[in-house]
Amino acid sequence: HVQLVESGGGSVQAGGSLRLSCAASGYTYSVNCMGWFRQAPGEEREVLTTIYMGSGRTYYANSIQGRFTTSQDNAKRTVYLQLNSLKPEDTAMYYCAAGERLIVRLMFENEYKYWGQGTQVTVS
């Protein structure tokens, strides 16, 4: 089993930045990809990014291209989501997910196996 813990959320003014972290523990050898999602109140969960742990290849949803960047530190089994130029509409709970599949594209919600509890981002 794999456990995921997100951190780094908070409240920020529009135009500001945050860096989210997601630390994986447990049987992480099975993890080939990790991703970030967000869910605003009353909305469906939205896919943001996928990063493949072996190659470092990244994929982004069109909605956040150019503003958000995902990266990894394999030694720490941690992925990051850098949020820049934040807008009030970015307010949401941000989740990370981990999966075992190697699809080599942006992966969607039902393609991940493990989920974190989320970290809240509020932009005013």
The tens digit of pLDDT for each residue in 13-64 reads 999 999 999 999 999 999 999 999 999 999 999 999 999 998 999 999 999 9
Q: 3-state SS of the chain: helix, strand, coil percent to 5?
A: 10, 50, 40
Over residues 103-121, the mean pLDDT reads 94
DSSP assignment, residue 42?
A: T
Question: Which among 6, 18, 7, 4 is positioned nearest to 122, based on CA atoms?
Answer: 18
Q: How far is CA 24 from CA 34, 38, 49, 65, 119, in A?
A: 10, 18, 17, 25, 15
pLDDT above 90 covers a percentage of the chain that reads 88
Q: What separation in angstroms does the CA of 123 have from each of 11, 23, 62, 83?
A: 6, 24, 20, 11
Mean per-residue pLDDT of the chain:
95
Mean pLDDT of 3-21: 98
pLDDT at 104 over 90: no
The length of the chain in residues reads: 124
Mean pLDDT value across residues 94-118: 93
Q: Is the pLDDT of residue 76 over 90?
A: no
Q: How confident is the model at residue 103 (pLDDT cuts 50, 70, 90)?
A: confident
Are the C-beta atoms of 61 and 47 separated by less than 8 Å?
yes
Identify the pLDDT of residue 10.
97
pLDDT of residue 102: 85
